[in-house]
Amino acid sequence: MENRSMGEIISSLRKEKGYTQKELAEKLNVTDKAVSKWERDVACPDIALLPRLAEVLGVSTDILLNAGRNKDKANSAGEKINKALAIALKAMPLAMGVCVLVTSIIGELHEEQGFILLGIAAVTVGIDRLKDIEK
């Protein structure tokens, strides 16, 4: 059960007990729309409601609170953003270096532009290194 979301667990346990969303909602003094939102992972039950919900579903609150905890972190939006940022921070200095090299070879690089591009590359490398220090 721990690799499923809270909504998936609630839905599964509700169906095992033979309750409709409306019946579960009545037992908890909430609306069936609230139960629907929980099961679709649009919303979570109020923390004060968890002990009663767990009791009605016949599980411990730990089962509900630890839902999805062992899911692959790469699936989270935040983790995907971090990976994209890491790639960009590594690619940017290379792109700036290539730009300086190519424009200097074709004779279109002005000294000031070259320093700006290399400065951007250096700052990007610095940001990437600082990001690694935080870990």
What does the pLDDT read at residue 80? 73
CA distance 73 to 80: 9
The residue that leads in pLDDT, 20 or 112, is 20
Q: Which CATH class is domain 6-65?
A: mainly alpha
Hey, what's the torsion of the CAs at 65, 36, 9, 55, to 10 degrees?
A: 70
Q: Does residue 48 surpass a pLDDT of 70?
A: yes
The predicted-structure confidence for 69-127, as pLDDT tens digits, reads as follows 655 544 566 677 777 777 877 787 888 788 788 888 888 878 888 788 888 888 877 77
Q: Which two tokens stand for residue 21?
A: 């969303």
Beta-carbon contacts of 117 under 8 Å, excluding residues fewer than 6 positions away, are 96, 99, 100
CA distance 123 to 61: 48
Q: Does residue 16 surpass a pLDDT of 90?
A: yes
Q: Where are the domains of the chain?
A: 6-65, 74-134
What does the pLDDT read at residue 77? 65
